[in-house]
Structure 1
Amino acid sequence: MAVDDVEYEPVSVKAVLAEMKDTAELLIDLSYSAVLLGSDAVAEEVLELEERMDVLQLQARMSLLMAARNPEDAEALAPVLGVVGAAEKISDAAGDIAKVVLEDIGLPEAMRAALPEAVETIVRVGVDSESALAGRTLGETNLETETGVRVIAIRRAGDWLTNPDYTTTLDVGDVVLLRGTELGVAAVYEDLSGAEYEAPDAPDPTVEDLERAVDSVVLMKNMSELAVDLAYGSVLFDSDGIAEEVLELEAEVDALEDRFEAWILRAAADMEDPVRLRGLMHLASATEVISDAALEISEGVLRGLGAHPVIAEAVRESDEVIVRLQVADGSRLDGATLAEEMVKTETGMRVIAVRRAREPGTTRVGDWVVSPGPTTELHAGDVLVAKGTRDGSERLAGLAGVASTEP
């Protein structure tokens, strides 16, 4: 495979970091979707994006080396290099996951049966010339508000647009990546392509001995993705508390991998063809690398180096924003659960962590609740960290009774 030459050119480090963040998160989604769908086409897209990430990280490193003029600069820029390296690790791990599909390394059907609950539906669709959406901007189509489906990336004339916004036009011939519920995705797929969406059949789990090993990998995936989200939140808000949660999650993923290894060895003894387990082992290993990368993103905060302003600005300008807001007294969220106010449905935002205003019966600030569920009840003074679109963040601010989502 030919590799293009890369030469130094003046680039905005902020813009490169924002694109690296968006690309890394897209790669996680696409790589697991390739496994779920058993799709060589989606896996190939992962490898092409991985090549793009290689170029981005070289551009970022060269620009940062040019910017360091003294020891103080080196100390300030060290966390930025950590973020660059971490995004590259996520990219490499996603490439390894894609190769499980492309090289037919072997994966038990039980894995594909377990993944649908852990992977939001992602579909790749071309824009047909007869589509009523062709030639319109995402703002004009109002897709996300009306269907809950989000365009997460567009491939156009061989290049990727990983940060489409309301001004982005859907052109005939574009390859669009959609994410959302299966029902919503099916409708948008038909609108764009003119063809009916056919959902892949999820096989029933047939390898009973692998159930615990498969469950471990799925849990590792969920925790690693959460760790990446929280890691970017920690540098955006320069928060020791959030960074420490990343550290805890990374340790839990390591423990899960240890348990996974025990279960996979036991299962191999009962399988007729244990070689088919190689793909599952690759998945576990790559997923653990993603959690390690999350820790690297937040390491500057953990070690007291703080967060360089360019990282925070890059996170703010990236595709999915991370916001922090405090629940106001008397707001719709005060005393309500996430499900009661339909936070995700009404806003499209995913609350990834809640910092309690206080512990019950005390005046001490409470601990972080990581990955809160629909039954999590909120109270005035609680601090939410959520991820989603800018429009969604403003709607969430309205529910919380605050005027702005700016950190």
Structure 2
Amino acid sequence: MRIGREHRRMVPGDAAYEPVSVKEVLAEMKDTAELLIDLSYSAVLSGSNEIAREVLALEDRVDLLQLQGRMSLLMAARSTEDAEQLAPVLGVMGAAEKISNAAGDIAKIVLDDIGTPDALRTAIPEAAEALVRATVAPDSEYVGRTLREINMETEAGARVIAIRRASATGKRRWVLSPGADDALQAGDSLLLRGPSGGIESVYPAATGGPYDPPVPVDPPIDDLGRAVDSIILMKDMSELAVDLAYGSVLFDSEGVAEEVRELEAEVDALKSRFEAWTLRAAGRVEDPVRLRGLVHLASATEVISDAALEISEGVLRGIDAHPVVAAAIEESDEVIVRLSVADGTALAGTTLGDEAVKTQTGMRVIAVRRGDAEWVVQPGSTTELRGGDIIIAKGTRAGAERLGELVGDEQRFEA
């Protein structure tokens, strides 16, 4: 089962062995865990109990998938060689579950009213990508068009990660990780993710009204902004670590896996500094209990980076991953590609910003390597690409084809 269509809420209960496709289980766990990061942060930003409850329902789904996958792997192991190859698969499954559990902990900040300063909700959207809800107006140009036809990821760098829609019975349901052939309807509530410039373009087209970023709220502590910046950086680095970890497995790259290790260490250091800040700040606020949500958010985010390191652990230890792991990554909703920049092509000799790669293709370049140099993670708009550079990017299959054309390294991706 893939999560690209209507989500069926799972009710926890007894589980027994049944034959399942490990590849499909891995692909769904990967897609669901990554979606949960976005949904959990969206729940905190919007203070939405409804989204938070969806996070917990999907967390239950991941738990069940992991149990089914583990049983299938145990049945498949016949020798020591099998055990050695399948061990990293168990690691990837366990890491995906750890990510979903961390997302559940973030959602509980809302459901349990643990407490977060109001200033947090206006500060977090300053992260590299914003999370915004937008309701499709009856006269929107998007009504009746599929996401493939709208092509907002290529046009604006923004994407729809979930849709809340009224069903035939009048009840509203979530369509999670909608596919390219999903058509938008009037009244759909879209969960959009993308850079602020992209959101400013897409939001009016969907709603008919202007996009108004959250109005900043005066923080109860003078340097709260610095603390929130640390959490934003932890979130961005943890998500990047997860993407790179899957890339290290897919391309069997120890160099990329080493970058994951470095990112995990940096997130640990950020969390340590944030904890010190929290202890000092507690004596300077009227209600220090309101800082608990920040502590929970930082702790859960750090767990995500730990999980990324677990995904790449097999590569770091020189253990060849079972081919099913690479097949599952390639099967997931967003593809990860490794491309070589050819001399004389559109991107050779330009920066990522000059050619607006993300806007043109919808792909996010997450790492660049020049010759035998180390990988450069989180390349920015000023990062120059040269002939012979290797890039790792993540996005849709259509976007991957377009990026391949720009760098002169065309690959075919089945839709």
TM-score, length-normalised on structure 2? 0.87
2:229 is aligned with 1:208: no
Structure 2 match to 1:385: 392
Taking a change above 3 Å as real, the CA distance of residues 270 and 131 of structure 1, as seen in their structure-2 partners, is closer
Question: Aligned runs of 1:4-403 on 2, under 5 Å?
Answer: 4-118=13-127, 120-124=129-133, 136-154=145-163, 162-170=176-184, 176-180=190-194, 181-190=198-207, 200-357=214-371, 365-403=372-410
- Counting matched residue pairs gives 396
Q: Cα deviations across residues 147-206 of structure 1 (Å, max 9, x unaligned)? A: 544232356768865453333344688765333333234235427xxx987765442444
**Counterpart of 2:366 in 1: which secondary structure?**
strand
Give the conservation status (yes or no) of the 8 Å contact 2:220–2:285: no
Q: CA deviation at 1:7?
A: 2.8
CA contact (8 A) 1:179 1:185 kept: no
- Following superposition, the deviation at residue 145 of structure 1 comes to 4.0
**Cα shift readout 1:231-272 (whole Å, capped 9, x = no counterpart):** 010001010000000001111111111111111111112112
Q: Distance in 1 between matches of 2:21 and 2:137?
A: 35
State the Cα distance separating 1:287 from its structure 2 match.
Answer: 0.7
**Alpha-carbon deviations, 1:345-371, whole Å to 9, x = none?**
1111111100112xxxxxxx1111111
Percent identical? 67
Deviations 1:207-249 (A, max 9, x none): 2143332222221111111100100100010100000000011
CA change 1:168–1:7 in 2 (3 A) is: farther
Amino acid at match of 1:207: I
Aligned partner letter, 1:120: E
CA distance in 2, matches of 1:94, 1:336: 38
**RMSD of Structure 2 on Structure 1 (CA):** 2.6
Give the Cα separation in 2 of the matches to 1:212 and 1:198. Answer: 24
**Pair 15,173 (structure 1): closer, same or farther in 2 beyond 3 Å:** farther
Which secondary structure state, in structure 1, belongs to the residue aligned with residue 387 of structure 2?
Answer: coil
Instruction: Determine the C-alpha separation between the residues in 1 that align with 2:87 and 2:174.
Output: 29
Unaligned 5+ residue runs, structure 2?
A: 1-9
Distance 1:351 1:387 in 2: 7
CA contact (8 A) 2:154 2:358 kept: no
d(CA) in 2 for partners of 1:105, 1:119:
26
Q: Sort the Cα spacing of 1:210 and 1:68 in 2 relative to 1 into closer, same or farther, 3 A.
A: same
How many Å apart are 1:32 and its aligned residue? 1.2
One-letter identity of the residue aligned with 2:111: L
| C-alpha distance in 2 between matches for 1:148 and 1:356 | 25
The 2-side partners of 1:61 and 1:202 are apart by 46
Which sections of structure 1, spanning at least 5 residues, go unmatched? 358-364
Name the SS for the 1:27 alignment partner.
helix
One-letter amino acid of the structure 1 residue matched with residue 237 of structure 2: M
Partner SS state of residue 294, structure 2: helix
